[in-house]
Amino acid sequence: MAVQRVKIIINPAAGANSTRRKWPRIKTLFEQAGLTFDHQHTEGTGHAIELAERAAAEGYSCLVSVGGDGTVSEVANGILNSGNGKNTALAVISTGTGSDFARSAGIPQPLVSACFVVAGPGRLLIDVGQVECLNRGRTVKRFFVNGAGIGFDAAVSENTNRLPKKLGGTFPYLTGLFLTMVRYRNKQVEMRIGDRAETARVLSVVVANGRYFGGGMKVAPDARLDDSLLDVVVLGDVSKFDLIKSLPMIYKGTHGRHPKVSMEQATTVTVESPERVLVHADGELIGEGPAAFGIKPGALSIVV
């Protein structure tokens, strides 16, 4: 069925401000694909959530995120906040540094292919994760489409997001990774994964909906966006040297063989710690623990 009302939400700062330069070409490609649309640029963090929530409530049948994974996450949150997740489809034109959700969803990254996909009829209902944690002493909730986590990965997100993203791909993530290694210490946590409880010292707990993180790392190799399950990857008390040595395995998705890595599936996860641990959702730092994660099966329609 042809898209009736389309709104494009553009984050001009995504991809080290390259999206601002790419937008005229993207606009032309949409017009060549026969798409009729409205569009609006974001003006800062969180603005895409507001724009998407308003557009979904106004009855747009498709919202297009033009930007990075953070923009995708914000547009998805706006759609879901509106309660219109199954009627307003999310489409993605990936112009950021990581493109991990596009990889996980099988959405083409080349602009020409991606723009013509948006104009097509393909739709897929995917699951959406939800995380609840603390931010300055107040409880906050956030949806995530690709993945969330607590510990080292969230600290990497904090450091990565502080960097000027002058280069795309994995460069910003790897820089944030090594900056975090200088000061980070593994955390003692109490976890409940489904019905199983465990106390352990961990580097990170990753709660994945999609497979890819950090600009192409296959962190959750068995994850599917539509299986009604979260893939939980626990990186145990891994040393910094061991982590560096294991990076090629993580890119290949073979790190499950490591004796200090566990992978399982669940619908609920909780993590608590006597220490301060940071929490991220789709690569954006949202607060600190304790954190509770859950899944909303088939909650969001995406264009594929």
pLDDT in tens, 16-33: 889 999 999 999 999 998
Amino acid (1-letter code) at residue 226: D
Burial of 200-214, coded b for 16+ CB within 10 Å and e otherwise, reads bebbbbbbbbbbbbb
Write out the residue limits of the CATH 2.60.200.40 domain(s) in the chain: 128-297
Nearest Cα residue to 202 out of 260, 254, 244: 260
pLDDT in tens, 282-295: 989 999 999 999 99
How many whole angstroms separate alpha carbon 213 and alpha carbon 206? Answer: 10
Domain with CATH 3.40.50.10330 in the chain: 6-121
pLDDT for 170: 59
**pLDDT of amino acid 2:** 46
Q: Which helix (H) or strand (E) holds 177?
A: helix 171-183
The domain made up of 6-121 is a member of CATH 3.30.930.10: no
CATH topology (fold) of 128-297 = Tumour Suppressor Smad4 (2.60.200)
Say if residue 1's pLDDT is above 60.
no
Q: Which SS3 state, helix, strand or coil, does residue 269 take? A: strand
Q: What pLDDT, on the 0 to 100 scale, is given for residue 283?
A: 87
pLDDT for position 177: 75
- How far is the C-alpha of 21 from the C-alpha of 28, rounded, in Å? 13
pLDDT of residue 3: 44
pLDDT tens-digit series, residues 136-188? 999 999 999 999 999 988 888 788 777 765 555 556 767 877 888 888 999 99
Question: Does residue 14 come out as left (phi exceeding 0), alpha (psi in the -120 to 50 range) or beta?
Answer: beta
Whether 91 has a pLDDT exceeding 60, the answer reads yes
Q: What H or E segment, with its residue span, contains residue 78? A: helix 69-81
